[in-house]
A and B are shown apart, each in its own frame.
Chain A
Amino acid sequence: MQFDNSLPIYQQVVTAIKKEIAAGRITPGEKLPSCRDLALQYRINPNTAARVYQVLEADHVAETRRGTGTYVREDPSLLSVMRKEMADGYTRSYIRDMADLGYHKDEVLRYLEDWNVPESEPSDLPERT
């Protein structure tokens, strides 16, 4: 993972893990790697890895079971909560950027409505099936 070295590393890893949960790549109840493995995976200091888990616990995303490790909380609503949190974040920054460009609310809504991805870019939102 590529870090922005001017922002706290632990926050960036917390966000990365939340994103994995929101995207369903990590499921509620799943065991998270040990601090050591998390450190190796993200190329961070093991102290930072421990701090990541502290923050995830404080945010009620993960829980540490004595002796066995850290798990994603077995909470069915977690996925939607994480999705909402992530989506809020992206939307907030999108709106901030659009506001910087001088767009008004109705303009932004119309812009999104009319948004057509060019053929060459495959990254449009998937249609609900």
Chain B
Amino acid sequence: MLETKNLVKKYGGKTALNDISFPIEQGKTYLLLGPNGSGKTTWMKTAASLSKPTSGSVLWNGTPVGVESRKEISYMPTESFFYPWMIVADVGDYCTDFFEDFDLDQFRDLIRDMELPADAKVKSLSSGMNAKLRLAAAISRKARVYLLDEPLNGIDLVARDAVMKAVISVMSPDTAVVISSHLVEEVESFVSTAIFLRNGKLLEITDTEDLRTRTGKSLADRYRELMQ
């Protein structure tokens, strides 16, 4: 459904993504793995059509991502991006205004479950609270693809369970979820495929259950092997 083809992205003189190709298929949950600067965020921003490729493309049902794909691809950025004048409830209203697939009731349930006060100023939220708000906004859409960039960053142990349950709840046979996280152990029980990146290059695509059955290794083991 979401096809990356020979994607290259350069910033100034630096190559962030170096000719990578891979498919994202529905019904699967992907984990993007790689050290900082390996190109995970750059790929997500390109797939979310925020960033334009230097060459190559990301295709959504055969056409380059853009205004149309934004209707069906939901993206949770790794940094705060809301307008500073907003309160938590404003974020729900904003998404309702712009995304036809946004479920406001679900958003309200999620922020309640994650103990985010609806009248809190977005500016005053801690980084963990802000991450929860970004996640709630992204997964309250009935999207076809969810791109979640470091959804566990800044989220304390107690809240992690709620966050991961929220992520699992959007998985279905006709959606795809792509998560980037360096907390491999936390997420490896529920991802189906791992995509290893290093220095903007694609190293390997691995089916997680297959890896365990074939080699008796965990994703974390394989990650350490590949990055040495």
Q: A-side interface residues toward B, CB under 8 Å?
A: 3, 5-10, 36, 39-40, 42-48
Cβ contacts under 8 Å, A9 to chain B: 189, 208-209, 212
Residue on B nearest A42 in the bound complex, by CB: B189
Q: For B191, give the chain A residue with the smallest CB separation.
A: A45
Contact A8 B209 (CB under 8 A): yes
- Interface residues of B, CB < 8 Å — how many? 27
Chain B contact residues, CB within 8 Å of chain A: 27-29, 161, 164-165, 168-169, 171-173, 185, 188-192, 208-209, 212-213, 216-221
- Answer whether A39 and B212 are a contact pair too, CB < 8 Å, given A3-B189, A45-B191: no
Instruction: Please report the C-alpha to C-alpha distance between residue A8 and residue B217 in the assembled complex, in whole angstroms.
Output: 9
Q: Is the CB of B189 within 8 A of A43?
A: yes
Additional pairs, 10, CB under 8 Å, beyond known A5-B189, A5-B218, A43-B168: A3-B189, A5-B212, A6-B212, A40-B169, A43-B161, A43-B190, A45-B168, A45-B189, A45-B190, A48-B209
| B-side contacts of A44, CB under 8 Å | 168, 189-190
Among B27, B28, B212, chain A packs the most CB atoms within 10 A around the CB of B212
Known: A3-B189, A43-B164. A10 touches B171 (CB 8 A): no
